[in-house]
Amino acid sequence: MHPSGRPGRSRAAAFLALTKPRIIELLLITTVPTMLLAAGGLPPVGLVLATLVGGALAAGSANTLNCYVDRDIDARMDRTRERPLVTGEVTPREALVFGVALGVLSTAWLALLVNPLSAALAVAAIAFYLFVYTLGLKRRTSQNIVWGGAAGCMPVLIGWSAVTGGLDWPALVLFGVIFLWTPPHYWPLSMRYARDYSSVDVPMLGAVERPTLVARRILAYSWAMVACSLLLVPVAGTGPVYTLGAVVLGAWFLLEAHALRRRARLADSSTEPVATAGAMRVFHVSISYLSLLFLAVGADPFVPWW
């Protein structure tokens, strides 16, 4: 039994939980389509698998080290109080060793089985997420997720470099799409859990600003994200699958962002602190948007214009 009174997870499950598998899954969804675009088709299956394993190890390292640093505030937030370091299923020392070991393993794996550039990008992603976001920005500025989210953009660079051995404009455009997607994805969640963040003095935008302002910024980033997604058409010479997908999905996301802004105005004029239901709808739509957009990225090379 762990401190909550419920049966504890197995040790293996507890360590796995530290890596935040659902976040890793979303990161890997962007990697494979990028590799397909870079190859103009299907790259070697062994290369794809090696890149996915190395990327998962790197993301697991970053997430574990994030849990290690944030264990004090995780214990005080409703959303995170079941994490293994809070329940005592894993000790801080064990988590630190585990996180560092995953980072070393991911670097060696990518360097040996993919290429040195992909390994270097993975190291940069881990370091950025730990030192710039978790230790530097998260507890100091409401712009934390804007710049800290750059770490989550690295899988597309890793995937592209795994295939080509370098970096090109299409990879940078995809980096930009995810960079601009991160605030509209995370700020609605911070609106939903505003009291949690306020209770631990973490200045997530949704916790420190009124819903109208947050929704307005979500809308601005959403328009920029959709514009950046369309930039891939001339830069990468994408075909009908991606072009149509980017237009339709972009319109869908913008409609949801505008709807959130309308709900936020109502929230500001009422006794409700946040437009919770609308915020979580945008959060869930953002996940579907990114997944479907990158599905279009991956499918596009297999469907010619004619």
Tens-binned pLDDT, residue by residue, of the chain (306 aa): 444 434 556 889 999 999 999 888 888 899 999 999 999 999 999 999 999 999 999 999 999 999 999 999 999 998 899 999 999 999 999 999 999 999 999 999 999 999 999 999 999 999 999 999 999 999 999 999 998 889 999 999 999 999 999 999 999 999 999 999 999 999 999 988 888 899 999 999 988 988 899 999 999 999 999 999 999 999 999 999 999 999 999 999 999 999 999 888 876 665 454 456 688 999 999 999 999 999 999 999 998 765
Q: How far apart are the first and last CA of the chain?
A: 62
Give one DSSP letter per residue of 201-249, joined into a string.
T---HHHHS-HHHHHHHHHHHHHHHHHHHHHHHHHHT--HHHHHHHHHH
Asked if 213 and 265 count as a contact pair (C-beta separation under 8 A), the reply is: no
Give the start-to-end residue ranges of the domains of the chain.
10-167, 168-306
φ, ψ for residue 42 (rounded to 5)? -95, 115
Q: Which residue has the tokens 């409609």?
A: 255
Residue type, 173: V
φ, ψ for residue 68 (rounded to 5)? -65, -45
pTM above 0.85, yes or no: yes
Cβ atoms within 10 Å, residue 22: 8
Look up residue 194 and give its two tokens: 């505003």
Domains 10-167 and 168-306 agree in fold: no
Q: Which 8-state DSSP code applies to residue 10?
A: P
Asked if 270 and 182 count as a contact pair (C-beta separation under 8 A), the reply is: no
Spatial CB neighbours of 164, under 8 Å, sequence gap ≥ 6: 38
Task: Mention the CATH class of domain 168-306.
Answer: mainly alpha
For the domain 10-167, what is the CATH superfamily, name and number?
UbiA prenyltransferase (1.10.357.140)
